[in-house]
Structure 1
Amino acid sequence: MNSSLFLVVLITGMFLVCAGLGLALLLSPRSFNAQKGEAYECGVPTKGTSWMQFRVGYYLYSILYLMFDVEAVFLFPWATVVRELGVPGLISVIFFLFILGLGLAYAWRKGVLKWE
Structure 2
Amino acid sequence: MLDPYLGILILGLVGVLNAAAMMGVSHLVGSRRPTPVKASPYESGIPPLGSTRERFSVNFYIVAMLFIVLDIETLFLIPWAVIFRELGMVGFLEMTAFLAVLGVGLVYAWKKGALEWD
Common fold by TM > 0.5: yes
CA distance, structure 2, for counterparts of residue 36 and residue 103 of structure 1:
45
| CA drift at 1:89 | 0.9
One-letter amino acid matched to 2:100: F
Matching of residues 16-55 of structure 1 within 5 Å: 17=16, 19-28=17-26, 30-32=30-32, 34=35, 37-55=39-57
| CA drift at 1:43 | 4.2
CA distance, structure 2, for counterparts of residue 31 and residue 74 of structure 1:
47
CA distance, structure 1, for counterparts of residue 47 and residue 30 of structure 2:
23
Paired position in structure 1 for 2:65: 63
RMSD: 2.6
| CA drift at 1:21 | 4.8
Identity %: 38
CA distance, structure 2, for counterparts of residue 78 and residue 42 of structure 1:
41
Which of the numbers 89, 109, 112 marks the counterpart of 1:110?
Answer: 112
CA distance, structure 1, for counterparts of residue 87 and residue 47 of structure 2:
53
* Higher alpha-carbon deviation: 44-53 or 95-104: 44-53
One-letter amino acid matched to 1:84: E
Paired position in structure 2 for 1:3: none
| CA drift at 1:22 | 3.6
Paired position in structure 2 for 1:90: 92
CA distance, structure 2, for counterparts of residue 114 and residue 22 of structure 1:
44
CA displacement, residues 26-70 of structure 1 (integer Å, 9 cap, x when unaligned)? 444624354555432334343332111111111111111111111
CA distance, structure 1, for counterparts of residue 87 and residue 77 of structure 2:
13
| Greater relative CO (CA pairs within 8 A, separation 6+) | 2
CA distance, structure 2, for counterparts of residue 42 and residue 58 of structure 1:
21
Which consecutive segments of 4 or more residues in structure 1 shift more than 4 A? Answer: 33-37
* Higher alpha-carbon deviation: 22-31 or 86-95: 22-31
Provide structure 1 residue ranges, at least 5 long, that are not aligned to the other structure: 1-12
The number of residues matched between the two structures is: 103
